[in-house]
Amino acid sequence: MYEKSLTWAGDFESTVEIQYLAEGKVRVWAWAVECLEEPERKYRGETIDEFFDFFKGKRATIYFHNLKFDGSFILDYLLRKGYPAYPLVWKDKPSEPHVETLIDGHGQFYWLQFIDKTTKTNLNFKDSLKKYKMELEKVAKIFKIPGKTELKLGYRFLNREVTQEEWDRVEGDVRILATAMRWQMTQGLNKLTIAADAKAAYERIMGRDVVHMKHPHLPEDIDVLIRPGYRGGWTFLNPIYKEEFLENVWVLDVNSMYPAVMSSTHGEWLPYGFPRPVDEDYQLREGEVDMVLVDAMPVLKEGAIPWIHYKNVLEHTSEEYIYDCERPLPFVFTRPDLDLFDLTYESDYWNFKGRLVFKAEQNQFTPYISYWNKIKQESDLTGDEGMRQLAKDMMNNLSGRFALNPNREGKLPSFDPIKNKIIYTPLEVKTKPWYVPTSAFITANARKRIVMDAMKFGDDFVYADTDSLHIINGDKYNLEDMIQIGPRELGYYKIEEVWQKAKYLRPKAYYHEGRTINMKKKDKEIKCGGLPEEAKLKLDLKEFFIGAELEGKKAGKVVPGGYLLKETTFKIKKKEWGYL
């Protein structure tokens, strides 16, 4: 008979590059766990063998913050011992001792399971990074826990005793994670990801039958037809400011952009139910929206800002915006997309291929958004950062859940004795599509608004990213007459900051310096995907340019024993974004 199943927070410390070069492998040299249900139960050890000895005969769920790292050591240990690995299934599990995995095509670990009925062992390893999408240091700040301290890592001789300073670091990380996940347990957040938690909360608040009546699982052929109409957030850098030094840049952020659309703050209509096909001349009635399939050759109008990307076009990257399309291309547009198209593009070629009409309603998500927005506002007043973060996550992680791709790629691990390490084989993962029109219309309405607002500022518009506008000469405008300004109102712009100095290299890569509003925060802000925090601290505005090579990055790779984080440099690369 199995003992009671318990939940744990865990962490591994492993050898670094200098050790790997000497030994040809990596290994765990310290681990610690803390029980969520029984906080007094804390254990630690110095080898991965001791870790599995401790959990032998137990039923447990163990959270690691970034399972891709810690899980690589777990897989190496188990598969090297000969346990076979299978894709994770819910029933009809193999009877032999084995490992099951849920790893996506990008190599992100969601769930590892080890089952050995002969020893009554059932271990589920899950990733807390899918619940808190941030570094552990930020989790510590939310729950007001002393943050982690840096270890001076170097060569570790075999059997060297772990120092108290090192134990404090490992156990400190585990304490942070245990506190955060214990809090999630008290809130009933028991799903694998925060997006799944949001879906469960939506069903609870609205009623499961109502949710699935409004958002039915669409047939696969319809999903394939309209999925290209789902576009992400709009990110654009005005090319006249590319790589220029700027002064007094105003940053205007929309308070909860997607939640505001979901609750129809500006009168947005969102689809529900199954669509029906209509002809091109059909006149929409009130309470209807549509999606149109066409071939077109968009040409940007004078004074307009581009927002349509090339997609699957050999001569162009998917990051390029369309200015002057050379040949007819296929598009799927939602009604908000078509309204924005009329304002920004023209096309001499327009070949109608199909049209689907949906019933639509306003305030579709208002009860759900209002519930969590009230909690967020109350948390602002009480200083409850944990509840505030949860409310933000619940509001911001639901909209994309409807658009999960039913045809995804996974990876299945196995041990390769020749390479002496774990290798991964691509795996097709097929699920039922849910209701991509919801996500498509939410993002389309948001995109329409932010593009139209950006154009109001003409050449003073610098940059936009999904829910924010960056402008210069902000003091010459009466902003309240141009856009809705409000510090907390849902869907209104908040003047987030006015930066004394700034430089923009490309979308998702910019440098701000010299706050004038939020003086208690760090005096500079750098956004550049992949650039580590350590490098940002040392970076000067003059050193921020295309081609700059900066130290401080750690690149990971699978090696014998587990996963190695290797010191390397980060190069700020040029990307083609379709500038003229």
As a whole number, mean pLDDT of residues 420-447 equals 95
As a whole number of angstroms, the distance between CA 509 and CA 235 comes to 11
pLDDT band at 577 (very low <50, low <70, confident <90, very high): very low
pLDDT band at 309 (very low <50, low <70, confident <90, very high): very high
Instruction: Say whether pLDDT at 579 is over 50.
Output: no
Query: In terms of DSSP bridges, do strands 407-416 and 421-430 run parallel, antiparallel, or are they unpaired?
Result: antiparallel
pLDDT digits (tens, 9 = 90+) for 445-489: 999 999 999 999 999 999 999 999 999 999 999 999 999 999 889
The torsion of the CA quartet 411, 415, 416, 417, rounded to 10 degrees, works out to 180
Instruction: Report which of 20, 95, 87 is spatially closest to residue 414, judged by C-alpha positions.
Output: 87
Contact indicator for 262, 325 with CB cutoff of 8 Å:
no
As a whole number, mean pLDDT of residues 254-260 equals 96
Residue 219's Cβ-side half-sphere holds a number of Cα atoms within 13 Å equal to 6
Three-class SS of residue 59?
strand
As a whole number of angstroms, the distance between CA 125 and CA 144 comes to 26
pLDDT digits (tens, 9 = 90+) for 19-66: 899 899 999 999 999 999 999 999 999 999 999 999 999 999 999 999
As a whole number, mean pLDDT of residues 1-11 equals 86
pLDDT attached to residue 1: 54
Instruction: Say whether pLDDT at 580 is over 60.
Output: no
pLDDT attached to residue 154: 53
Averaged pLDDT of the chain: 93
Contact indicator for 555, 531 with CB cutoff of 8 Å:
no
Lowest mean pLDDT among 107-116, 157-166, 327-336, 384-393: 157-166
pLDDT digits (tens, 9 = 90+) for 80-134: 999 999 999 988 889 999 999 999 999 999 999 999 999 999 999 999 999 999 9
Question: In terms of pLDDT, which residue wins out, 548 or 367?
Answer: 367
Instruction: Say whether pLDDT at 426 is over 80.
Output: yes
pLDDT attached to residue 46: 94
As a whole number, mean pLDDT of residues 531-541 equals 86
pLDDT attached to residue 314: 86
Question: In terms of pLDDT, which residue wins out, 316 or 420?
Answer: 420
As a whole number of angstroms, the distance between CA 168 and CA 30 comes to 11
Q: What angle do CA 67, 73, 78 make, to 5 degrees?
A: 110
As a whole number, mean pLDDT of residues 358-384 equals 96
Instruction: Report which of 352, 551, 368, 333 is spatially closest to residue 445, judged by C-alpha positions.
Output: 333
Contact indicator for 509, 547 with CB cutoff of 8 Å:
no
For 143, counting Cβ atoms within 10 Å of its Cβ (0-12 exposed, 13-18 middle, 19+ buried), the class is middle
